[in-house]
Structure 1
């Protein structure tokens, strides 16, 4: 339970460091993501093409954080649609066995590693909402080395 409160405190601290930089159509977004890293997601654009994303993840016997730096590129043929690439890391606390994060049979592990990410997102022009999907490799470096692929879909309130 202590890990949960520490995780929430760090996530809220990251979210409260908002800025005034504006991207193509929004500067900040908060919402939900479903997939390998299901949970709450917050994105802050630090320039027109660059964003930082933080995630607080939970479910499937896990609790953790993800973070990435992303580069955005417009798809000119489709207004409001962008593709992005980036990289970052994850810190996942595991309670019990979870074959996605570790192959060992012992309980209470920590998965620490690096992530790549690529995806697309669409910002609705008339309402403060963006949706998207992402895919990328993630490599656990501790508690044990393991390669996974993460997949996610998301919806966020933009402001």
Structure 2
């Protein structure tokens, strides 16, 4: 539990340190897919020049086990170098997963706290935004066998269609 609180404290400190940097987003809102671990339908909207909220519904299935989940994240974007449309972002979020193990008739509900670290590129002349991120996650719950704890293998490649904003600064 101490490591969890340290991670949260470090994330909050980084948010405040980098918050003063001014950048302009390439769009207002976009919808698309997160392809990876887990698969998800995503909606992202900027609430200020550099701050965005992303919500997504996810699914992950593998032999005998599956889950569906709902997640939300607060992300802070910063321009990366002189390449127009390229940004890096970080943030934090929370969610809930509903697990099922059909082979042994077990199920469980887990809450999660996640960190986000990624890259985003928005095309200048096309309403498409691409992302790649790492989402380290801490699961809290007492489902089948007491599973819970840290998972560092979560992340996605994402593609979104820009709904508002023309893809240009």
User: TM tier, shorter chain?
Assistant: 0.7 to 0.9
Structure-2 residue corresponding to 1:158:
162
Per-residue CA shift, 1:68-106, capped at 9, x if unaligned?
000000013211000000000121111117xxxxxxx77
Higher relative contact order (CA 8 A, sep 6+): 2
Q: Which residue of 1 aligns with 2:122?
A: 123
- Indicate the SS of the match to 1:108: strand
Is 1:81 the counterpart of 2:82? The answer is: no
Aligned residues: 130
Counterparts of 2:82 and 2:101 in 1: how far apart (Å)? 47
Paired residue secondary structure (2:136): strand
Matched, 1:92 2:94: no
Structure 2 match to 1:50 = 51
Q: CA RMSD in A?
A: 1.5
Give the drift of 1:146.
Answer: 1.3
TM-score scaled by length of structure 1:
0.77
Q: 1:147 aligns with which of 142, 145, 150?
A: 150
- 2:57 matches 1:64: no
Q: Which contiguous aligned blocks of 4+ residues in structure 1 show a shift greater than 2 angstroms?
A: none
1:155 to partner: Cα distance: 0.1
Is the deviation greater in 72-81 or in 118-127? 72-81
Following superposition, the deviation at residue 66 of structure 1 comes to 1.1
* Structure 2: gaps (5+ residues): 1-23, 164-169
CA displacement, residues 101-152 of structure 1 (integer Å, 9 cap, x when unaligned): xxxx771111211000100010011010000100031001113431102111
2:7 corresponds in structure 1 to none
* Residue of structure 2 equivalent to 1:138: 137
Which residue number in structure 2 is paired with residue 100 of structure 1?
none
- In the aligned structure 2, how far is the partner of 1:123 from the partner of 1:89? 25
